[in-house]
Amino acid sequence: MSIEHQTEPSHRRGLSRWANVPFAPRRWPFFYGWMIVAVSTGSIVCSIPGQTAGVGVFTDHLIAALGLTRDELSLAYMIGTLISGFILPYAGRLLDYIGVRLMSVFASLGLAASLLVMSYVDGLADFLQSRLPSDWLTAPVVEPIAGLIWRFFPSGPTAAAAAVVAFLLIRFFGQGNMTTVGRVAMGRWFNRHRGMATAISGVPTTAAFSAAPWLLAGLIAAVGWREATWLMAAIVGVGMTTLGLLFLRNTPEACGLSMDGTPLTAEAQKKHPDLHPIYHEFTRRQALGSLSFWTITLILSLHAMLITAVAFHITAFGEAMGKTDIQATRLFLYFVFVTLPARFAASYVIDRTRIPLAWMLTTISAAIAGGMVGLMFFDTPAGFVLTIIMLGLSGGIFGMLADASLPRFFGRAHLGAISSAAMSAMVLSSALGPVLFSYGQTWLGSYQAVLLWMLSLPAALLVMSLFTRNPQHRYGPKP
């Protein structure tokens, strides 16, 4: 029987009195956790404007608006994403403090404002140019690195600075906070059915992420790139803010419910035995000191880095491989046919079996390696199909690991801080992906050469996964 206890800390119990406003979740005709799944899915989907799947289709338009080269914009993207990754853990602690409901409002409004900033990024560059003194690069604080700034951004430091600000904001609020809110909310409402909940959430999420480049490209062609960002800002700022404020709740205990909707009685526990009980609530520091955390995080980060790199440069990568823009962007649409079955298969393994997660970690490592090989031969039919199968499989497992592994291994009490630490690593690695592809292609002469060097990464992580164990076993009953 699970000994997982109520995880509502004392500093947040005052907020629990609002759990039944404007309605009481315990009075719903079905377990309210499934409503949490629906709204959490909306939060993750609304993060698309801050994800590379959403940003990538705006790349050429931002290059034209700012007068930067592709390498310069990629570097600005990396810098903005890196800064976002470094401050994201503080947002995770804030999430644990104020709860997912208020954090959803904060993230949604922040992403909406960030999209408005991105739509006027060239105006921001002009503003910086007019406000900064003409000799700002010779200021004592800046002068030591002025040479590097001009070396990496010869087209204009102020244009690059505006791009960094825009990317920092949309990555922090979009990729970072909107996604973390959704994952933490689901993780706190489910235990035995956590895999199935995330798999169900993965259906619209996978479809939306896969179709986003293609749909956004069509939207931009129809109304223009600035107008497309305004529309996304309205959807997130009005729609997701309203949904989060009305329907999200921090924990089932705060609403007078229990995880999975099953009473924590001896009879209920006997009828529905917990295959993966929580014996210890890990703090963020304890989690970061475990091999399990870093194996999961590094695998997820590698997948994020690869997908980000391909999505950000999808048009250029497709052109180098003899594909049109439409043919290249459809790659993400094809992933759905593999990713969705993979998510449900992985959910069965997580919820219904005692198969160690190490097996799933080795599988995703091998799938990432296979996806890299497929991308190297992307211009051939076999390579195109191999890319779809392998990256689709890794994408399905990625979703399950990101949503279900951390609460299973480390508990719920500090899930926001632990999840944001993992998300921070994913954000940082995704920052490196576009630059690695862009500069690697420039230095090595082809994307295939870059991918060949990257193959060593999933091989190393596969070895790490063989030694990964659930840290809860150290605190459970001894055989």
Domain ranges of the chain: 27-472
Q: How far apart are CA 40 and CA 114, in angstroms?
A: 21
Residue 424, C-beta contacts closer than 8 angstroms, at least 6 positions apart: 85, 86, 88, 89, 92, 176
pLDDT band at 345 (very low <50, low <70, confident <90, very high): confident
pLDDT band at 450 (very low <50, low <70, confident <90, very high): confident
Structure confidence by residue, pLDDT tens digits, 253-271: 888 888 877 765 656 556 5
Answer whether residue 15 shows pLDDT above 70.
no
Q: How far is CA 198 from CA 201, 239, 317, 327, in A?
A: 5, 22, 31, 30
CA-wise closest residue to 84 among 162, 176, 166: 176
Q: How far apart are CA 92 and CA 419, in angstroms?
A: 7
Tokens of 80: 């903005």
Is omega for the bond preceding 479 within 30 degrees of 0, making it cis? no
Structure confidence by residue, pLDDT tens digits, 364-374: 999 999 999 99
Q: What is the mean pLDDT of residues 22-46?
A: 92
Strands (DSSP E) found in 304-428: none
- Which CATH code is given to the segment(s) 27-472? 1.20.1250.20
Q: Where are the alpha helices (DSSP H) in 67-120?
A: 70-119
Answer whether residue 59 shows pLDDT above 60.
yes
Q: What is the mean pLDDT of residues 147-163?
A: 80
Tokens of 188: 């706190």
Position 7 scores a pLDDT of 46
In three-state secondary structure terms, 248 is coil
Q: How far apart are CA 286 and CA 475, in angstroms?
A: 13
CA-wise closest residue to 298 among 346, 356, 361: 361
Sign, CA torsion 83/87/89/91:
negative
Q: How far apart are CA 178 and CA 164, in angstroms?
A: 20
Residue with tokens 């105006």, as numbered in its chain: 123
Q: How buried is 111 (Cβ within 10 angstroms: 0-12 exposed, 13-18 middle, 19+ buried)? A: buried
Side-chain half-sphere CA neighbours of 29 within 13 A:
0
Q: How far apart are CA 165 and CA 77, in angstroms?
A: 9
pTM, two decimals, is 0.77
pLDDT band at 475 (very low <50, low <70, confident <90, very high): confident
Q: What are phi and psi of 282, to 5 degrees?
A: -75, 140
Secondary-structure percent of the chain, ordered helix, strand, coil, rounded to 5: 80, 0, 20
* DSSP code of residue 12: G
Structure confidence by residue, pLDDT tens digits, 401-418: 877 788 888 888 788 888
| pLDDT averaged over every residue in the chain | 83
Burial 150-167 (b: 16+ CB within 10 A, else e): eeebeebbbbbbbbbbbb
Q: How far apart are CA 172 and CA 179, in angstroms?
A: 10
Least confident of 21-25, 127-131, 140-144, 293-297: 140-144
Q: What is the mean pLDDT of residues 54-76?
A: 87
Position 308 scores a pLDDT of 80
Tokens of 7: 């995880």
* DSSP code of residue 21: S
Tokens of 50: 């801050």
CA-wise closest residue to 457 among 339, 371, 350, 334: 371
CA-wise closest residue to 314 among 231, 220, 204, 210: 210
Q: How far apart are CA 37 and CA 243, in angstroms?
A: 12
Residue 292, C-beta contacts closer than 8 angstroms, at least 6 positions apart: 409, 468, 469, 470, 471
Structure confidence by residue, pLDDT tens digits, 331-342: 777 887 888 888
Residue 261, C-beta contacts closer than 8 angstroms, at least 6 positions apart: 31, 32, 33, 252
Burial 343-353 (b: 16+ CB within 10 A, else e): bbebbebbbee
